[in-house]
Structure 1
Amino acid sequence: MNSNFPKTVYAIQHLSFEDLGSFEDTLYEHGYRVRYFEAGVDNLKKAFEHEGLTIILGGPIGVYETEDYPFLTEEIQYLQQRLAKNLPTIGICLGAQLIAHALGAKVYAGAQKEIGWSSLQLIDLADNPLTTLQETAVLHWHGDTFDLPENAELLASSALYPHQAFRLGQNILALQFHLEVTAESLEKWLIGHTCELRKADINIQYLRSENKKYAVKLETKAQEILHHFLQNSSLS
């Protein structure tokens, strides 16, 4: 494990039940502490100035909804400063969209919701950190998408959206899909997102059964990917 990393990982939440999931156990196993910050409630300055790993988690709002959610403007500014310093950062779903936006790419509503389990189309790269996900179903849960930022390296696509993951060097990783979800936690999502699910005409019972089929395997893969990130990232 990279000895240069401070032993605390900061996680920025936009929704209480969308947490670090399987990432949290992996971090604890490697001797890291975890501290959560709540976007819109806490001052995020410390989390974004942190020289160790900061993980930006998902949520149902769009990065362009700054009029309704003014805290996003400050969050994006802090993130731009963080990325300019090349500090180790992982973004998941909304977090990935925030990274894309902070890097100057357009984020916008997609043609349709992508909610459910399906495999990715991995880009053929010699050192693609997502290689372990080959033929592995992951959880998609988003309506927005983004253009690929300048100088970013595309890592994965899906049948519906071409930009599912990208990296910038070894320190910045953006994942549109939910790598972190655990088998035991999805029920919280089904409850908390019930309005979105019913509006999108998603079969909740089917989503639950797919979770039982795929989530445990994904937890193992998520461990491998996070371990790879921690080993290969470095501080600027």
Structure 2
Amino acid sequence: MKQALALRHVDFEDLGTLAGVLEQRGYHIRHADPARDDLSALRREEPDLLIVLGGPMRATDVAGYPFLGEEAQWLRDRRAAARPSIGVCLGAQVMAVAAGGDVAPMGLNEIGMGTVSITPAGQGTLLRLLADAPVLHWHGDGIALPAGEVSLASTGPCAVQAFELSGHQLGLQFHLEADLDRITEWTTGHAEEVAQAGLDGKVIAAAAKAQAQAMKAASEAFFATWLDGLPA
């Protein structure tokens, strides 16, 4: 059985609807929490798929969160070995940093339901499946990709919403995986961030629940197609 390992930084920022897609494709899912689990021990298992999930810390704050440096090295090693990886939000930022890019504050928090614009470079990729699809945005940092890499999707505040790197690495700044039926866990867990952004958690939750089924359908179709395209 294929092995998928998810690095989870916050309990409610989990695999969400992606879990069902992985199970349908024969993956056995394991979770690790980098703040308390020894990543160096887990590296030896070389999972078939690594998913680095979201979190509130900055991807470059290795001094405050040393495990972020370990995650970046793991992603570099996996890219060199062409072992597939997915980075979501913080995970995408760590993926970009590991490849030689950077992250920096955008000057605002992009939080709530929205869409992404598919860039010309993204039109010929699987990102085209997400044109007009609802997605959940929840971040305040933006990605600067390394030289030679291009953004596949964007929004007004954020030029890099998606990218792909060699070695089967997919980075998504937005949360396509989130189970919106559990959105109140997000609005409660990130209540201070929501308040600082001048937003209303109840409004965010209502919009998310109204689009839960549409985003789940888009998520399942996108991730299934991406997984099916991986080498055997």
In the superposition, the TM-score normalised over structure 1's length comes to: 0.91
Moved more, 167-176 or 75-84: 75-84
Instruction: Flag as ranges the 4+ runs of structure 1 deviating above 4 A.
Output: 46-49
Of residues 100-109 and 79-88 in structure 1, the stretch that sits farther from structure 2 once superposed is: 79-88
Gaps spanning 5+ residues in structure 2: where? none
Once the two structures are TM-superposed, the CA of residue 123 in structure 1 deviates from its matched residue by 1.8
Could you report, residue by residue, the CA deviation over 1:57-76 in whole angstroms, capped at 9, with x for unpaired residues?
Answer: 00000012222212222222
1:45-194 to structure 2, matched below 5 A, reads 45=40, 47-48=42-43, 50-124=46-120, 125=122, 127-169=124-166, 171-194=168-191
1:12 aligns with 2:7: yes
Cα contact 2:2–2:26 (8 A) shared by 1: yes
- Cα 1:170–1:120, aligned 2, differ >3 Å: closer, same or farther? farther
Per-residue CA shift, 1:34-72, capped at 9, x if unaligned?
Answer: 000101111223554524111000000001222221222
- Whose relative contact order is higher, 1 or 2, with alpha carbons under 8 Å and at least 6 apart? 1
Secondary structure, counterpart of 2:135 in structure 1? strand
Deviation at 1:208, TM superposition (A): 0.9
Give how far 1:200 is off.
Answer: 1.4
Deviations 1:115-150 (A, max 9, x none): 011111102345321212111221100011111223
Matching residue of 2:32:
37
Rounded to whole Å, the distance in 1 between the matches of 2:148 and 2:43 is 22
Counterpart among 208, 216, 223 of residue 213 in structure 2: 216
Residue-pair matches, total: 230
Runs of at least 5 residues in structure 1 that lack an aligned partner in the other structure: 1-5
Cα distance in 1 for partners of 2:63, 2:97 equals 16
| Separation in 2, partners of 1:76, 1:221 | 28
Distance in 1 (alpha carbons) for counterparts of 2:188 and 2:172: 23
C-alpha deviation, 1:218, in angstroms:
0.8
Amino acid of the residue matched to residue 79 of structure 1? Answer: L
Between 1:114-123 and 1:75-84, the stretch displaced more is 75-84
Identity of paired residues, percent? 34
Residue 89 of structure 1: how far off its partner (Å): 0.4
In terms of mean alpha carbon deviation, does 108-117 or 42-51 score higher? 42-51
Change in Cα spacing, 1:223 to 1:47, as seen in structure 2 (3 Å) is: farther
Does the aligned pair in 1 maintain the 2:79–2:168 contact within 8 Å?
no
Relative to the length of structure 2, the TM-score reads 0.93
Q: Alpha-carbon deviations, 1:129-176, whole Å to 9, x = none?
A: 121211122110001111122333421001111100000147110000
